[in-house]
């Protein structure tokens, strides 16, 4: 079955919040957008809770963001679903469902924009509060500029990547380098990366 977009949620021991995350997404997106949860190294009830909310699940013993994303995509394929694009969403509810919906609508109107990056808005207060995360993200953005020619002030974990482009990128860093690798590879390929402002909770 061919579908425009699918939600990909890498999940590592998120039993406390995965059900709420899935219910929020369903409330905004309805049942037409498949949701696949990639369980990576889970030792809690995340899988059972995700399936109880109607999500497809894939599972691996390997811990890592990229491992979770890949097994979620495999779960879609196993269910006979061929998606035009993948939207990568946090399992812990950090991404607002309305921002996910914005990415979908933008892609539907601009199919030539194959990489949509949800950049968290720069706010001085959040930098002061989360300096330990914000500074490394900025430094990685500078690294991306050096290697790929494009600068980003954030890694943008909420993102939409068109399926054919995702296959061209062929990400191989399956732990903490998953997000920055995709941005650098896309920039090196000369792909246009469209940034959309989002708010992280």
Mean pLDDT, each 10-residue run in order, the chain (201 residues)? 92 98 96 96 98 98 96 97 96 95 95 92 56 59 57 75 96 87 88 90 84
Burial class (CB in 10 A: 0-12, 13-18, 19+), 81: middle
pTM: 0.87
172-179's contacts with Cβ under 8 Å and 24+ in sequence apart are 173/66, 174/62, 174/64, 174/65, 174/66, 174/67, 174/70, 175/63, 175/64, 175/65, 175/66, 175/67, 176/64, 176/65, 177/66, 178/64, 178/65, 178/66, 178/69, 179/65, 179/155
CA 44, CA 195: separation in Å to the nearest integer? 35
CA 191, CA 40: separation in Å to the nearest integer? 30
Furthest C-alpha separation in the chain: 47
State the sign of the Cα–Cα–Cα–Cα dihedral 149, 150, 156, 158.
Answer: negative
φ and ψ at residue 142, rounded to 5 degrees: -65, -40
**Tally of residues, the chain:** 201
CA 134, CA 152: separation in Å to the nearest integer? 12
Rounded (5°) CA angle 159-74-25: 45
pLDDT score at 120: 75
pLDDT score at 57: 98
pLDDT score at 151: 56
CA 198, CA 187: separation in Å to the nearest integer? 21
């Amino acid at each position: 079955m061919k579908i425009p977009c699918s939600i990909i949620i890498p999940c590592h021991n998120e039993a406390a919040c995965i059900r709420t995350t899935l219910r929020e997404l369903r409330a905004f997106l309805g049942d037409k957008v498949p949701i696949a949860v990639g369980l990576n190294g889970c030792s809690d009830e995340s899988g059972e809770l995700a399936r109880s909310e109607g999500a497809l699940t894939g599972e691996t013993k390997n811990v890592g963001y990229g491992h979770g994303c890949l097994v979620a995509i495999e779960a879609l394929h196993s269910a006979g679903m061929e998606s035009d694009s993948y939207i990568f969403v946090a399992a812990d509810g950090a991404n607002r469902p309305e921002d996910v919906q914005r990415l979908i609508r933008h892609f539907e109107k601009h199919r030539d924009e194959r990489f949509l990056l949800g950049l968290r808005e720069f706010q001085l207060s959040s930098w002061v509060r989360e300096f330990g995360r914000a500074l490394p993200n900025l430094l990685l953005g500078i690294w991306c500029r050096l290697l790929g020619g494009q600068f980003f002030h954030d890694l943008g974990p909420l993102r939409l990547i068109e399926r054919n482009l995702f296959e061209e990128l062929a990400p191989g860093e399956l732990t903490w380098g998953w997000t920055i690798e995709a941005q650098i590879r896309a920039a090196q390929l000369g792909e246009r990366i469209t940034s959309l402002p989002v708010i992280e909770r």
